[in-house]
Amino acid sequence: MLMLLLIVVHIIRQLFQIDASSYSFDRDVERSVGCHLSKVIERMADKHYAGRTDESTQAGWFGGFTLERVLAHQAIEAELEQNRAGLWRPGELFWCHNCGVVLGGHAKHKGKRMPAGAVHCLERKHVGIFGTPDAVMIKLWALKEWKFTKKSMRSAGGDRLIAIGAEEAERERSDYEHISVGMWPWIVQMKSYCWMLGKLFERPMLKSVLEVLFIEGDYGLTTRDYTTARYWLRFDERELDEGWDALVSHAIDGGMLEAK
């Protein structure tokens, strides 16, 4: 006789709000001496987007930070294993309002190990903006960024499209919005990182490679499956300078940076 064993389990499902900052690369940054670039861009975006909940935003950032950590570490490790050494993770960068861009790392302040940018400001009474690029492609002298998003790929079209298996670019889909419009916060972020790295090494960084995991594809226009896309971006020095000036102005206007 087949006997059915019924197990009664009491399960409680509880929603919670995750603190995405605990999983970011800059989680140890001392906020009292400056603001992080992502927070300035968030303020800029708040003026354009409505209806976002803090819970969903934090959860989305958590997913992005997780992917960023895995890809940044794994990709760089793979580069080293294959003796290519083409990727480098610079860590935290800091733009000081008085001194320019300072390389990341850590230093000691009153016996406490802290980010170098924070120590710089605490000891000199300066303020500025923190930034944490994912990686630098040394041989191409280009920024490398990874993104994870639930937004539709329809909002991230390019000027041209290279399909899987194709050797040459063709026209982008006419029903796709250009990424500089649909995903402009990403563009602002990449321009800012390129500006910081260019100033730090006194060598303009005018290229960026962005790899994105779209977990909803293009919302069913062609696919709703997980889809990855790579973007090759080129900038010029003038637009990087203008973009940085605009970012600093937003930080000051928003009370996030008390520059004197």
Task: Give per-residue pLDDT as tens, 178-202.
Answer: 999 999 999 999 999 999 999 999 9
CB 129 within 8 A of CB 35: yes
Contact 194, 208 (CB under 8 A): yes
Cα–Cα distance measured from residue 35 to residue 257, given in angstroms and rounded to the nearest whole number: 7
Q: Give the ranges where 32-183 is alpha helix by DSSP (H).
A: 37-46, 54-81, 116-124, 179-182
- Say which residue the tokens 């539709």 belong to: 152
The two beta strands, 142-149 and 207-214, are: parallel
CA dist 180 → 75, 171, 190, 219, 249 (Å):
26, 17, 11, 19, 20
- How many Å apart are CA 57 and CA 69, to the nearest integer? 18
Categorize the per-residue pLDDT at 51 as very low, low, confident or very high, splitting at 50, 70 and 90: very low
pLDDT-based confidence at residue 50 (cuts at 50, 70, 90): very low
Q: How long, in residues, is the chain?
A: 260
Q: Which of 212, 227, 59 is nearest to 145 (CA)?
A: 212
What is the C-alpha separation between 178 and 127, in angstroms, rounded? 35
Type of residue at 115: P
Rounded distance, CA 204 to CA 225, Å? 38
| 3-26: pLDDT as tens digits | 555 666 677 655 555 555 554 554
Confidence class for position 80, pLDDT limits 50, 70, 90: low
Sign of CA dihedral 72, 68, 146, 166: positive
Q: Is the pLDDT of residue 27 over 90?
A: no
Residue-wise pLDDT for 198-241, tens only, equals 999 999 999 999 999 899 999 999 999 989 999 999 999 999 99
The predicted-structure confidence for 58-68, as pLDDT tens digits, reads as follows: 666 666 667 66
| Structure confidence at residue 258 (pLDDT) | 80
Q: Which residue has the higher pLDDT, 111 or 27?
A: 111
In order of 5, 11, 51, 175, the CA distances from 8 in angstroms are: 10, 10, 40, 52
How high is the pLDDT of residue 6?
Answer: 62
pLDDT at 29: 47
* pLDDT mean across residues, the chain: 82
Strand 135-137 and strand 87-88: pairing? antiparallel
pLDDT given at position 109: 76
Tokens of 57: 């935003």
What predicted TM-score, i.e. pTM, was given to this entire model? 0.82
